[in-house]
Chains A and B, each alone.
Chain A
Amino acid sequence: MRRWLSYPYLVWMIMFITVPLLLIVFYAFTKQTDGGIVFSLDHFRQILDPLYLKVFLRSFKIAFISMLICLLIGYPVALFLSSKDFSQKSTYLMLIVIPMWMNFLLRTYAWLTLLENNGIFNKLLEFLGFGKVQFLYSEGAVILGTVYNFLPFMILPIYSVMVKIDESVISAAQDLGANSFQVLLKVMIPLSLPGVISGITMVFMPAVSTFVISRLLGGGQFALIGNIIEQQFLLTGNWGFGSALSFVLMVLVIISMFFMNANERNGKESML
């Protein structure tokens, strides 16, 4: 109907999504030679270097572990928040949402000061008579930062699916003999699966490509793929290689998301 209303968005999309994507593909698959710009797979060959493969592997590992922790913490929280007897729902929801209003960088810097050698945690440990612990610049610190930053993105989609589950469906399961655990296993979990899937997607995707958390909390030691890409564009000026890395990351993320969704569809049919 009012097609022209969508034109500003279309223009936006073309300028800031389609064109950059095409540029990435262009830079990734070409190289500058004396004879001008030619098609080349050199950049991709470079990625096969064990050094970079290791970074890819680490990025996926850290993102996966963070996502898993978010799920393990977030699912019970969502379950708890969505229960109908719980009256202070909105207060708790606010507490979860408020940190999201704060700048991402600030939140991460805050952890920096907390975990420092002279930070609050170490002060506390000292006070209690334990020795200092090197929290920062470890894999654990990166995972902690990732979980902290992305946990709301796990809780909220699961919560929003759960509150829509009809109370009478749970009653029906109890009526048919299911105890609380069986209700959870056979009704709540399958019915909240779409929320879990989008939660996983919303945590995993930004986690796998983050470079701020790994730089601030991981120091130089725990470079993730996002850091390497940033380096290629901002330091080395190797746009071709940076583009190739971005391209591979994108394809890998798309593939993993595709498997997730396929699993969900199968799950629906073969569940229990």
Chain B
Amino acid sequence: MSDYIIQLNNISKVFEDGFVALDNLNLSIKKNEFLTLLGPSGCGKTTTLRIIGGFEMPTEGEIVFQGQKINDLPPHKRKVNTVFQKYALFTHLNVFDNVAFGLKISKTPKNEIKERVREMLNLVNLQGFEKRQVESLSGGQQQRVAIARALVNRPEVLLLDEPLGALDLKMRKDMQIELKKMQEKLGITFIYVTHDQEEALSMSDSIVILNEGIVQQIDTPINIYNEPKNAFVADFIGESNIIDGTMLQDKLVHFCNKDIPCIDTGFAKNEKVDVVIRPEDIDIKNLSDAQWTGKVTSVIFKGVHYDITVESSDGFVWLLQNTDRQYEGDTIGMSVDPDDIHIMKKVIDL
């Protein structure tokens, strides 16, 4: 048997209307991994989860669970549990019966059900809520019932579909920490779906970036952030300046009317490329030492740093992040170190 608990091999999903939601997806998930599917709305995250959960049949490809192909296994026989996007709680049952649902189905002895439900409600901080109707709970509490209802069955894999999407910022931050702790404590594999890149970066062991049903990059959060594979990933993970450029030779790129030294090699001569520069990597310089100059068009305080937009003479609008305040209307100079310039192959648009 392999080290992977779930493998998706060459999975494609074409809906009846001909829409291609997933295109040749390959994904291997290790035991106890916290894996996040990240991408903009409509990129196929939910579809991927539904295929793993058994609610959607892939058009092509195989789903392998602990070494066994499970394409034809119906949802109720799969050893995964799901926390659904909108919780999907049973409104006709109280909190206890919601959480106990799976255990009752599996004919667990009554005493054990009681014990395990109590334990789980403690874990999600809902002790004493057993008799409450789920509709009387707040969004955050309902969300925790949904997590408890799935986790109480001790699944091998927990699928979570934007579980924190409906919560306010403060609650979301708290729940992120709680979820991560739970995952480590229980040693369960989490497959987590979000469109929030910050959430993905802070919680995951590895991140899968999806766009339009195609995997863009699979890597650790640090690598995804520091070494985005293409302009889409760079743009999606954190804000980036993405500029059309031309590779003049190894380690020299032309963009924004300047020939700029960089560290990338291996491109064809005069190949069109995307130049990606993180806003925090742009240094503010004296006008005489700068690679470019431009006029400050807006300054927004973000708590620790300022978001500064600068329009250079060629019309490109730069985003800078700097802890020093600048003033609207001033002309400033900008420079970038060669190793902060990321050159990426153009994604060929079909």
Contact = CB atoms under 8 A, between A and B. Distances in A.
A176 B149 contact: yes
B88 A166 contact: yes
B91 interface: yes
Interface in A164-178: 166, 168-169, 171-178
A268 B94 CA distance: 10
A168 B92 contact: no
Nearest to B149: A176
B232 interface: no
A187 B153 CA distance: 19
A271 B75 contact: no
A174 B76 contact: yes
Contacts of A166: 86, 88
Contact of B81 (A168, A175, A190, A191): A175
B84 A172 contact: yes
Contact of A176 (B54, B55, B102): B102
Interface in A137-172: 166, 168-169, 171-172
Interface residues of A, number: 21
B85 A168 contact: yes
B105 A176 contact: yes
Contacts of A186: 101, 105
Contacts of A172: 82, 84, 88-90, 149
A168 B74 CA distance: 16
B93 interface: yes
A268 B89 CA distance: 15
A187 B86 contact: no
A187 B90 contact: yes
A197 B171 CA distance: 40
A137 B86 CA distance: 56
Contacts of A191: 90-92
B106 interface: yes
Interface string A182-211: 100011001101000000000000000000
Contacts of A182: 105
A173 B101 contact: yes
Contact of B153 (A171, A174, A176, A271): A176
Contact of A177 (B76, B84, B93): B76
A179 interface: yes
A272 B105 contact: no
Interface in B50-72: 53-55
B84 A171 contact: yes
B119 interface: no
Interface in B175-222: none
B88 A178 contact: no
Interface in A223-272: 268, 271-272
B283 interface: no
A177 B88 contact: no
A179 B88 contact: no
Given A176-B81, A176-B105, A182-B105, A171 B86 contact: no
A168 B84 contact: yes
A177 B152 CA distance: 13
Interface string B99-112: 00110111000000
B88 A169 contact: yes
Contacts of B74: 174, 179
A174 B53 CA distance: 10
Nearest to A194: B92
Given A191-B92, A272-B97, A177 B102 contact: yes
Contacts of A177: 76-77, 102, 105-106, 153
A166 B87 CA distance: 11
Contacts of B86: 166, 168
Contact of B55 (A169, A171, A179, A271): A171
A178 B107 CA distance: 11
Contact of A171 (B88, B89, B92, B101): B88
Given A176-B105, A177-B102, A178-B105, A190 B76 contact: no
Contacts of B84: 168, 171-172, 175
A179 B150 CA distance: 17
A168 B75 CA distance: 13
Contact of A271 (B76, B81, B93): B93
Contacts of B76: 174-179
B65 to A, nearest CB: 15
A191 B91 CA distance: 8
A42 to B, nearest CB: 49
Given A176-B149, A191-B91, A268-B92, A171 B75 contact: yes
Nearest to A191: B92
Contacts of B93: 190, 271-272
23 contacts: A166-B86, A168-B86, A169-B88, A171-B53, A171-B82, A171-B84, A172-B84, A172-B90, A173-B90, A174-B55, A174-B76, A176-B101, A176-B149, A177-B77, A177-B102, A177-B105, A177-B106, A177-B153, A178-B76, A182-B105, A186-B105, A190-B92, A191-B92
Given A176-B101, A177-B76, 14 more contacts: A169-B90, A171-B53, A171-B84, A172-B84, A172-B89, A174-B74, A176-B76, A177-B77, A177-B102, A178-B105, A191-B90, A191-B91, A193-B92, A271-B92
Interface of B: 53-55, 74-77, 80-82, 84-86, 88-93, 97, 101-102, 104-106, 149-150, 153
Interface of A: 166, 168-169, 171-179, 182, 186-187, 190-191, 193, 268, 271-272
Q: Closest 5 A-B residue pairs measured CB to CB?
A: A176-B102, A168-B88, A172-B88, A174-B75, A177-B105
